[in-house]
Amino acid sequence: MIWKTPRQTFDLTHCGLIMGVLNVTPDSFSDGGRYLAVERAVARALEMEAEGAGIIDIGGESTRPGAMAVPVEEELRRVLPVVQAVRERSGIALSVDTMKAPVAAAAMEAGADIINDVSGLHADPDMASVAARTGAALVLMHMQGTPGTMQQAPVYQNVVAEIQASLRCSMDAALAAGVGPECLALDPGIGFGKTLEHNLDILRNPAAFGLEGRPVMLGVSRKSFIGKITGGGGGAASRQWPTVALTSLARERGVRILRVHDVKENVQALRMTEAVLHAPPARTN
Ligand code: HH2
């Protein structure tokens, strides 16, 4: 299972990837406001690389439920200096978490490798052509509605089938624009227009979203549905260990790319799970 960016070719057959979250926003639900200064953001990116992240995902617009859209100039101002500065210091794969084609294009120019579009190409009609032109790897995520409204009353007849159908449309649009199939990864979008029950349905069989053999990515990290299971109190950081548990479970069930805030702990869970999955047969003589 190959996933291609302009700079890297990841073989995900036996080895998954941890994508470290770096939100350069004032209002992200977990790390908002912590990495607004470029030097702090770069230091965190290099720390996550040292902890074993394979990708750093840089985002300049919060997509938490109820979040307001950010103007393109402001998103560029937040994201570009960080992409440039990390790229000067490291060869790690960089992803830009954006729904805006001009932000994706500028980030690719500045040294990014992956476009992570949580709208699955629905927000900006130019996104697919930017991905095709730059050769970016492209994450297509499913979202019902927009961040402003998505958690008001998400409804599905069959959540798995409807996400699959929507991801297939996104994939077809990407391929029609000239994105290489080997560049695509698919994400069911945990928490994006989903109730707790929808999220649990998705987690029961995440491999169902690996259409045409493409790698599945998942972002459960510290999300509020975890707090609904584990009980209140403690805020987002207290959801770290349930996130680690889900990393192991998801990897065992076929997910290859895990987007997380707590890199070190999730890398350990991933490698441990993979050691069990791919253990050589025990010797009998
Ligand atoms: N979740 C968030 C943002 N981007 N991208 C993908 N592919 N999958 C996800 O599940 C996903 C994502 C939301 O988390 P976070 O970035 O931590 O918060 P915020 O949107 O408030 O910045």
Give catalytic status of residue 283 as yes or no: no
Q: Mind listing the pLDDT tens digit for each residue in 50-69?
A: 999 999 999 999 998 888 89
The bridge status of strand 114-117 relative to strand 93-97 is parallel
What spacing in Å lies between the alpha carbon of 180 and ligand 1's midpoint? 24
Give catalytic status of residue 239 as yes or no: no
Q: How much is the pLDDT for 29?
A: 85
Q: What is the dihedral of CA 116, 122, 127, 129, to 10 degrees?
A: 120
Q: Is the pLDDT reported for residue 232 higher than 80?
A: no
Q: Which pLDDT band holds residue 284 (cuts at 50, 70, 90)? A: confident
Q: Mind listing the pLDDT tens digit for each residue in 102-160?
A: 999 999 999 999 999 999 999 999 999 999 999 999 999 999 988 888 888 899 999 99
Rounded to an integer, what distance in angstroms lies between the CA atom of residue 72 and that of residue 92? 25
| Consecutive H or E run containing 138 | strand 137-141
Phi, psi of 95 (to 5 degrees): -115, 145
Q: What is the mean pLDDT of residues 226-230?
A: 95
Which of 21, 25, 203 has most ligand 1 atoms within 8 Å of its beta carbon, as the pocket-test mutant? 21
Rounded to an integer, what distance in angstroms lies between the CA atom of residue 215 and that of residue 17? 11
Specify the ligand 1 atom closest to the Cα of 223.
14
What spacing in Å lies between the alpha carbon of 136 and ligand 1's midpoint? 19
Q: What is the mean pLDDT of residues 155-170?
A: 97
Q: Mind listing the pLDDT tens digit for each residue in 202-212?
A: 999 999 999 99
- Atom 15 of ligand 1, nearest CA residue: 28
Burial class (CB in 10 A: 0-12, 13-18, 19+), 282: exposed
Among 223, 239, 251, 256, the one annotated catalytic: 223
Q: Is the pLDDT reported for residue 197 higher than 80?
A: yes
185 close to 229: Cβ distance less than 8 angstroms: no
Instruction: Say which amino acid occupies 63.
Output: T
How big is the chain by its Cα radius of gyration, in Å? 18
Q: Is the pLDDT reported for residue 233 higher than 80?
A: no
Phi, psi of 106 (to 5 degrees): -65, -40
Q: Is the pLDDT reported for residue 223 higher than 80?
A: yes
Q: What is the mean pLDDT of residues 173-201?
A: 98
Q: What is the mean pLDDT of residues 75-102?
A: 98
Residue 256, SS3 per DSSP: coil
Which of 97, 127, 198, 225 has most ligand 1 atoms within 8 Å of its beta carbon, as the pocket-test mutant? 97
Helices (H), 51-155: 72-89, 101-109, 127-134
**Of residues 97, 95, 96, 100, the one with CA closest to residue 71:** 100
pTM: 0.96
What spacing in Å lies between the alpha carbon of 284 and ligand 1's midpoint? 47
Q: Is the pLDDT reported for residue 84 higher than 70?
A: yes
Helices (H), the chain: 38-50, 72-89, 101-109, 127-134, 159-177, 196-204, 224-230, 240-252, 263-277
183 close to 137: Cβ distance less than 8 angstroms: yes
Q: How much is the pLDDT for 90?
A: 98
Q: How much is the pLDDT for 285?
A: 67
Question: Taking CB atoms and a 6 Å cutoff, what residues make up the pocket around ligand 1?
Answer: 21, 23, 25, 28-30, 59, 62-64, 97, 116, 118, 139, 141, 187, 189-190, 217, 219, 259
Q: What is the mean pLDDT of residues 263-268?
A: 98
